[in-house]
């Protein structure tokens, strides 16, 4: 497995490591931001796509009234299994589904929401068109995507460290996929191609990523994302060593104790 196929492989121990390290470190604050934006528009029926281990789902369940129905979907059943295990403060429906072929009728939802998932869609315009199809009149699509990797300091440091470890074939998952869909004009064009007639609104939001030690982000990125697949494809027994190299690079840049780095993302809203 390689390239874009491996980029979507969230299985094995990845979901648990992802949920316990990456979620509090980089995802939680952006999930709360999206949930507040959704709640402000008071939708009655909400579809979440690419829900992962449910950090946004949990925020939505807290921010929205009991009367608002929430269906949370993801392509990867192991991620949904982790999300369901962690649970939410109230009932939501978990459902395995591909954002490229949503199994819902036209006009079924008031809001479609996606937290850091659009970067993984093989055909972004098609996925956005699927979201538009299932939106009712007056509904909206709300999603966020990471800005370029240089604006996300832990991810950039890990990528550079691995390039030094594997100079002939640098693992490039983080730059290629999570941070590979950040150009505003490209996003706007994909939404136009998907058939959204109204202009989208894009805001860039900077935040801080914090962890108790440099080892935590090293483990998070190397073992809690499909970057693990790239490392192990280059050295089947080298995951621990690669993680240590990244931890050393993070310590040199941010210090040996608690670490604090910039993260940055785009938030996009478009009406159906």
Residue 23: phi, psi to the nearest 5?
Answer: -60, -55
State yes or no: pLDDT of 226 exceeds 50.
yes
pLDDT in tens, 19-71: 999 999 999 999 999 999 999 999 999 999 999 999 999 999 999 999 999 99
Can you tell me whether residue 9 is helix, strand or coil? coil
State yes or no: pLDDT of 147 exceeds 90.
yes
State yes or no: pLDDT of 172 exceeds 60.
yes
Q: Write the CA distances from 262 to 150, 211, 259, integer angstroms.
A: 10, 12, 10
Answer left, alpha or beta for residue 47, where phi above 0 means left and psi between -120 and 50 means alpha: beta
Render 61-77 in DSSP notation, one character per residue: HHHS-TTSEEEEEES-H
- d(CA 233, CA 224) in angstroms, rounded, equals 16
State yes or no: pLDDT of 187 exceeds 80.
yes
State yes or no: pLDDT of 188 exceeds 90.
yes
- pLDDT, position 257: 97
State yes or no: pLDDT of 4 exceeds 70.
no
In the predicted model, what is the mean pLDDT of the chain? 95
- pLDDT, position 37: 98
Strand order in the sheet with 109-115: 93-96, 69-74, 45-48, 109-115, 135-146, 259-271, 201-211
Out of 2-11, 75-84, 199-208, which region has the weakest mean confidence (pLDDT)? 2-11
As a whole number, mean pLDDT of residues 75-80 equals: 94
State yes or no: pLDDT of 194 exceeds 50.
yes
Residues paired with residue 96 on neighbouring β-strands, in sequence order: 74
State yes or no: pLDDT of 2 exceeds 50.
no
As a whole number, mean pLDDT of residues 228-241 equals: 96
- Where does 3-271 sit in CATH, by number? 3.40.50.150
pTM: 0.94
- d(CA 249, CA 70) in angstroms, rounded, equals 41
Q: Write the CA distances from 209 to 5, 21, 28, 126, 174, integer angstroms.
A: 28, 11, 10, 32, 16
- pLDDT, position 1: 40
Confidence band, pLDDT 50/70/90 cuts, at residue 189 = very high
- pLDDT, position 14: 87
């Amino acid at each position: 497995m390689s390239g874009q196929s491996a980029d979507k492989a969230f299985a094995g121990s990845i979901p648990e490591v992802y949920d316990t390290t990456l979620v509090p470190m980089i995802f939680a604050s952006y999930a709360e931001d999206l949930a507040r934006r959704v709640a402000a528009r008071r939708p009655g029926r909400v579809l979440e796509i690419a829900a992962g281990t449910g950090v946004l789902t949990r925020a939505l369940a807290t921010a929205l009234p009991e009367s608002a129905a929430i269906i949370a979907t993801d392509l990867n059943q192991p991620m949904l299994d982790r999300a369901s295990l962690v649970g939410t403060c109230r009932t939501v429906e978990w459902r395995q589904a591909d954002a490229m072929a949503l199994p819902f009728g036209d006009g079924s939802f008031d809001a479609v929401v996606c937290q850091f998932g659009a970067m993984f869609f093989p055909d972004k315009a098609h996925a956005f068109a699927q979201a538009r199809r299932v939106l009712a009149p007056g509904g909206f699509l709300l999603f966020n995507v990471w800005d370029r990797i240089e604006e996300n300091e832990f991810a950039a440091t890990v990528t550079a460290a691995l390039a030094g470890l594997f100079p002939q074939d640098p693992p490039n998952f983080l730059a290629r996929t999570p941070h590979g869909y950040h150009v505003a004009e490209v996003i706007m064009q994909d939404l136009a191609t998907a058939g959204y007639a109204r202009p989208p609104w894009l805001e860039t939001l900077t935040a801080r990523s914090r962890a108790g030690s440099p080892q935590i982000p090293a483990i998070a990125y190397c073992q809690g994302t499909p970057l693990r697949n790239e490392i192990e494809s280059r050295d089947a027994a080298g995951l621990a060593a690669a993680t240590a190299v990244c931890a050393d690079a993070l310590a040199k840049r941010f210090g040996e104790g608690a670490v604090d780095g910039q993260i940055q993302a785009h938030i996009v809203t478009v009406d159906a």
